[in-house]
Amino acid sequence: MNRRILLLIASIVCWAGVIGSAWAQEFDGVPGLLTQVTAGRAEVWGLDASQKVYRYNPAGKKFAKLAGKITLSQIAVGGGTLLQADEVWGVSAGTQIYHYDFTTKKLVEVQGNLVQIVVGEGNTDGCHPYEVWGINSSDLVFRYDYCAGEFDQIQGTLTRIATGSGEVWGLNSSAQIFDFNFKTQQWTKIGGSLQQIVVGVNDVWGLDGSGKLYRFNPASGFSPFGTAVFTQIAAGGDGVWGINSSAETIMRFVPNAGNEVTITGVLSQISVGYGAGVWGVNSADEVFAFERP
């Protein structure tokens, strides 16, 4: 069966396991205070104002602080499918890289230094069951090799990187757009200019410098979508969402209809999983999870 079909099936199953089967389409509060939250297929993790690490417990419906003194400035969760569990990676304020060991339940330091890290589903070869990519402080790009247990440098420089459904995209310091070609191991320049980029199940989306939304079409490139202006967008198996620049209101995109739907609530950061649901935090660090049929 096609991996994307399996992923969509997994999304439906895991959604129910994480936030229940409530019928109200709204964001409900979740106990805890976090400044950042990120969701994968079944895992949801977060960071608090002191950069301490938390993992969501679906049974207790609350976040539990991870044991130990390690703090992170950014955390990435993803890559889970019916065939494999999510991976959890992070970077500290000092640019150290950490990988969560589900056996020991500890964050383990990995050699290298990065300022941004992303993780998603891998499907190219046995040494890359997950696509784990990162950027260092010099904008150099790295990809993790699970066979060698280390990060390999990839040609090119980027300031933003995104992965999803086995694809990797990035932006450079001039806001130029690039798509990584796994066959040639080269970056392909795509027309347009973006300040944010995200990769969903079947779509690639971005925001320009004015916060206008664009959607990628393989035949014609990036084209405007809707009329709203955003400060952040997020995409995954649970849809494509954004935070409107007007009072931090929440919007869900409806690609087939070519428009956006406003969802009740106010958020300052949002994360869309591949089955674990849609999560966010507001300016008071309160945590919310979206419930739908």
| Averaged pLDDT in 10-residue chunks for the chain of 293 residues | 42 40 69 97 98 96 96 97 95 98 97 98 91 98 97 98 96 98 96 97 95 95 92 94 88 81 93 96 97 59
Looking at residue 71, what is its pLDDT? 98
Angstrom distance (rounded) from CA 196 to CA 139: 16
Which pLDDT score, from 0 to 100, does residue 13 have?
Answer: 39
In the chain, where are the structural domains located? Answer: 3-21+35-224
CATH for 3-21+35-224, options being 2.60.40.10, 1.20.140.10, 3.20.20.120, 2.120.10.80: 2.120.10.80
* 291-to-27, 44, 183, 238, 263 alpha-carbon distances in Å: 6, 15, 40, 11, 11
Residue 254 to residues 203, 235, 257, 258, Cα–Cα distance (Å):
12, 12, 5, 6
What per-residue confidence (pLDDT) applies to 162? 98
pTM above 0.85, yes or no: yes
Q: What is the pLDDT, as a whole number, of residue 226? A: 85
Say what the pLDDT of residue 292 is.
Answer: 60
The angle subtended at Cα 195 by Cα 189 and Cα 213, nearest 5°, is 95
pLDDT number for residue 95: 97
**What does the alpha-carbon distance between residue 69 and residue 47 come to, in Å, rounded to a whole number?**
13
Q: What pLDDT is attached to residue 9? A: 41
Query: Who's near 224: CB < 8 A, 6+ residues apart?
Result: 212, 213, 214
Paired with 207 in beta bridges are 196, 213
